[in-house]
Amino acid sequence: MVNINLNVKATGSDLDIGRFGLGQGGFTNNAQFDSHIQDLKNLNHKYLRIFVQNYFDVYPAHNVYNWELLDKMVKTILATGAKSILCICIKPKVLFPKNDDNIIHPYNYKEWDKLIFEMVKHYKKMGVNMWEVLNESDAGEWGGAPYHTKPKDYAIFYEHIARAVKKADPKAKIGGPAVSNASKEGSKITPYLLQYCSEKNLPFDFLTWHRYADNPLRIKESIVTMKNLLKKYPKIKCETGITEWSASFVANYMKYTKNPAYMPNFIIESIFQMVEEGLSFCNYYQIRNLNFTEGIFKEWISKKALSTFGWCNYCFTHLGIFDYQGQPRPAYFAFKLLSRLAGKRIRIYDVDGNVKVLAAYDEDFKMVNALIWNFAVEKPKKETIKLNIYNAEKGEWRYTRFLLDVKTNSSEENRRLRIVERKFIKNTDHFEDTFILEPYGITQINFKKSFPVEV
């Protein structure tokens, strides 16, 4: 028996759950997820991250700027109600004539700086104010973007972009390095960059890295590592963001296929760890799976790397919250449940074992939402939950309990987010419920002061 005592008055600060958003891989110059605008709007995310890649063709010739394709993409993001984090990965042919990911510096930095300046100036008008410098440059083109950097080169490259960004929009936020390996202080790039920025007083608004792991504790550890690292550079006050993360999708492919409840649990548990460790924001990878076609990458990714990229078509199955055909997967509904945690966080103490709770009180609605899940890397046991909601305002309340059904073949919301209990309680300030939570079970309770009329 797990006792969950939910004191409606024990609220802390705003949970601001929308900052734990999504990102989209760099696959095509089409808007990629334009058919999911309404679905993404449902999730109330604050930020969506995209790659600013060569296929947007933003700099086709010297002093020629072409924003048409990138505009489309940014407009799609804005239509979802989110803001864009634009990860700069472009390598225009006119500034980088040779196709080699080890070449970092453009042959003309003055022209490059002007390009960044013009781009930031253009997108400032559309409300874009977060710019990330490069993607997984410790892994090079294997990470999907054509830069493979040494720490010193990254820092110099970062400095150029940071100065150009701030010149175009002093209020814009600039960050990086979005390394793929954060386990050992973000390879060597991160500490070098922090030292460099600290010494030169360079603008540095957010520190980013990526993490794919089977165990959410590895994600937690990466946050602790990065926060400890930041402590060494007291001059730097910045946000922290994991701008790509998910489960280790290749190594544990069959595990997630066999147990479709694992991924939605993993997502919720990981975001819980992010909240606990004070991460500023994240971008789950990714919104929608798309089949990779090598055509548009040929000019700027080596043949050797391209020949292996086809694996995206086979191994990304567990990543997209929409699959290759645009069907919402159970992970979509995990984010939908998370999005309902609006308002101030309610702290819950003394819940032991594998069951965890994330709860919030929305003062505007006079509504409590609590997400309760039963997760462990190795299969947890079934639990009986005894829920006690107390200290609510006296009055008429409506209680609804939802269950995320990952096993149904249907994507209809009524089947995925099944309402298993619904009650009206008159003249009360508390409520109790007892229910079973299966291994990897995810349930959400909604406790709301009633409106006077119900149709």
Nearer to another protein, 6 or 367 (CB): 367
Q: Which amino acid is at 205?
A: D
CB of 14 to another protein, least distance (A): 15
Residue of the chain from 29, 225, 411, 428 that contacts another protein (CB under 8 A): 411
Q: Which helix (H) or strand (E) holds 337?
A: helix 330-339
Is 455 a residue that touches another protein (CB under 8 A)?
Answer: yes
Is 30 a residue that touches another protein (CB under 8 A)?
Answer: no
Asked if residues 350 and 388 have their Cβ atoms less than 8 Å apart, the reply is: no
Is 426 a residue that touches another protein (CB under 8 A)?
Answer: no
Is 434 a residue that touches another protein (CB under 8 A)?
Answer: no
CB of 115 to another protein, least distance (A): 31
Residue of the chain from 16, 400, 428, 438 that contacts another protein (CB under 8 A): 400
Nearer to another protein, 93 or 449 (CB): 449
Q: Which stretch binds another protein (CB under 8 A): 39-47, 68-76, 259-267, 302-310?
A: 39-47
Compute CA distances 74 → 113, 199, 279, 319, whole Å.
Answer: 21, 34, 25, 22
Supply the DSSP string of 414-441, one letter for each residue.
HHHEEEEEEEEEEEES-EEEEEEE-TT-
- Return the percent helix, strand and coil in the chain, to nearest 5: 30, 30, 40
Burial zone of 125 (CB within 10 Å; 0-12 exposed, 13-18 middle, 19+ buried): exposed
Is 14 a residue that touches another protein (CB under 8 A)?
Answer: no
Asked if residues 289 and 331 have their Cβ atoms less than 8 Å apart, the reply is: no
Is 254 a residue that touches another protein (CB under 8 A)?
Answer: no
Q: Which stretch binds another protein (CB under 8 A): 66-74, 166-174, 183-191, 359-367?
A: 359-367
Is 39 a residue that touches another protein (CB under 8 A)?
Answer: yes
- Residue 89 CA to residue 54 CA, distance in Å, equals 7
The length of the chain in residues reads 455
- Residue 141 CA to residue 91 CA, distance in Å, equals 12
CB of 73 to another protein, least distance (A): 17
CB of 356 to another protein, least distance (A): 24
> 433: which strand partners?
387
- Residue 102 CA to residue 299 CA, distance in Å, equals 15
User: Tokens at residue 379, please?
Assistant: 């299969």
Q: Which stretch binds another protein (CB under 8 A): 133-141, 165-173, 417-425, 431-439?
A: 417-425
Question: Footprint of another protein on this chain (CB under 8 A)?
Answer: 35, 37-39, 41-42, 44, 79, 81, 328, 332, 364-365, 367, 400, 408-415, 418-419, 422, 446, 448, 451, 453-455
